[in-house]
Structure 1
Amino acid sequence: MQESVQQIKRVLVVDDEEGMRTTLAANLELEGYEVVEARDGVHALELAGQQAFTLVLSDVRMPGLNGVETFRELKRIQPELTVVLMTAFALEKLIEEAIVEGVYTVIYKPFSMDHLARVIARAVDAPAVLVVDDIPKVADSIVSVLRAAGLSAHAVHDGRTAVQHVIERSVDVCVLDIVMPDQDGVATCAQMRGLKKRVTVIAMTGHSVPEMVSAIMSKGGYTCLRKPFDARELIHTIARARGDAAPE
């Protein structure tokens, strides 16, 4: 797999239902992606061993290898691969496993093709999480947890550096402390969202600052987590935010 897919944006669609697979492929081709179809998990692994993909869109419930098992094997073949899962079933245990192991997001059927297009457009753009906290130990520990879960994550320790990071690098989610010296989270969120509306801001705070929470939500914040929060709560919130992919 010598070729680069940075410009190609090749998507592998995996679904055992031929009608669904064909419909998804046709719509993604209309969005400008090169699309390859796989009839099941085993077929997907064969294809991934032959060519590089930017992203895999896979059903969860399939005969043989299910979508989560396929996701795990695909990541062994192409560790940097972004995987989006889709399901019509409430498979809580499987979904939980996939999210904590680094799947980009899970979208639930039925979904509109417009919604899918938004999710895919964000997912193919080398997605990463930016963690912003003026206490380096806190920011770095959150990044360590996210990386351990298979997510690409980076830390900065002030609002101005965070805004510059968003300008220079690909970031789709920012986990942002609200109360910080010099430039607080509200101002930072406003600047980020003004530059790139695709950046989803998940606020966090250990202080009782309802006015600031309201302000950051009014500027496009997705939600606010109260410190200290469980690592799984944050990972699930990131996956849910990515799957929501609100219109810009």
Structure 2
Amino acid sequence: MQATRRVLVVDDEEGMRATLAANLELEGYEVVEARDGAHALALARQQRFELVLSDVKMPGLNGVETFRELRRIQPGLTVVLMTAFAIEKLIEEGIGEGVYAVIYKPFSMEHLVRIVARALESRPVLVVDDLPDVAEMIVAGLRAAGLRAEAAYDGYTAIQRARDETVDVCVLDLVMPALDGVKTYEQLRRTSKQIRVIAMTGHAPPEMIHAFTSRGGYACLHKPFDVRELMHAIARARSDPGSC
């Protein structure tokens, strides 16, 4: 029997904490509540958590500062942020340092529960590029920022991984031999409606990019790109209700 997953909910609003805790407990999680960032850090020193769900705007330590300190206490801890405010610079910092996803208030509890469940599955980001050095470089950048990431070098491997349900987000090069990115994407979507796909390209023709986006592809990044740009695309994909 699988052990109960322990989730820490951090919010200075007691009513919001209670609502979140009640809904997560109905899903079978063990929930611990923290009234602010300092309280969350004290709890993290006493017990292990599988996931932290934290508000961003709080008195004292904000959610991103809390995230940083929690990661020092429990390295690799999965953190999802919630916010009702347009504090993009702060949120960008958190995403660039490895926050799993950001949920914007108001949100449905169904959406929240889906993101929590997906985050707890701990599936990696799969980077697919027929140039191994490129794929491994991107994977190394994501891992350095605290994300789980793995590499594949062709579309067929990506499709098999999707069948095995071992992929969270797929980052897919569009121009590849044998099976190009658009054809790979089409098969990925037939295999799994849950997978979110981000394309990347250095020289794909405009019609190929259009074919990808018009079929529902999430985003297309143009090489060379900074790993933080990719991390923001990944976090947005994870936070999108359509990706859950």
**TM-score, structure 2 length as denominator?**
0.91
Aligned length: 244
1:44 counterpart residue number: 40
| More off after superposition, 113-122 vs 80-89 | 113-122
Of stretches 169-178 and 10-19 in structure 1, the one that deviates more from structure 2 is 169-178
Q: Percent identity?
A: 70
- Tell me if structure 2 keeps the 8 A contact 1:84–1:103: yes
Instruction: Show structure 2 runs of 5+ residues with no match.
Output: none
* 1:199 equivalent in alignment to 2:195: yes
Post-superposition CA distance 1:110-165 (Å, at most 9, x none): 22222212222211110321100001111111112111221111111111122223
Which residue identity is paired with 1:25? Answer: A
Q: Distance in 1 between matches of 2:47 and 2:124?
A: 24
- 1:18: how far off? 0.1
Contact 2:195 2:243 in 1 (8 A): no
Confirm or deny that 1:99 pairs with 2:87. Answer: no
Task: State whether residues 129 and 154 of structure 2, in contact with CA within 8 Å, keep that contact through their aligned partners in structure 1.
Answer: yes
Aligned to 1:59: 55
Structure 1: which 5+ residue stretches go unaligned? 1-5
What corresponds to 2:232 in structure 1?
A: 236
In the alignment, does 2:168 pair up with 1:180? no
Aligned to 1:161: 157
The match for 1:82 is: 78
Q: TM-score, normalized by length of structure 1?
A: 0.90
Mapped to 2, the partners of 1:176 and 1:150 lie a distance apart of: 20
**Partner Cα separation in structure 2 for residue 108 and residue 52 of structure 1:** 26
**Deviation per CA, 1:142-196, whole angstroms, max 9, x where unpaired?**
1121112211111111111222233446321110011111111122222222232
Shift of 1:247: 5.8
> Could you tell me which residue of structure 1 aligns to residue 118 of structure 2?
122
Q: Does the residue aligned with 1:8 lie in a helix, a strand or coil? A: coil
Q: Which one of 18, 43, 48 corresponds to residue 14 of structure 2?
A: 18
Q: Give the match for residue 149 of structure 1.
A: 145
Compute the RMSD of aligned alpha carbons. Answer: 2.0
The residue type paired with residue 42 of structure 1 is A
Q: Following TM superposition, by how much is the alpha carbon of 1:198 offset from its aligned partner in structure 2, in angstroms?
A: 1.8
Shift of residue 219 of structure 1?
Answer: 4.2
| Structure-2 separation of matches of 1:197 and 1:45 | 37
Deviates more, 1:220-229 or 1:122-131: 220-229
Change (3 A) 1:84 1:168: same
Contact 1:10 / 1:34 at 8 angstroms: preserved in 2? yes
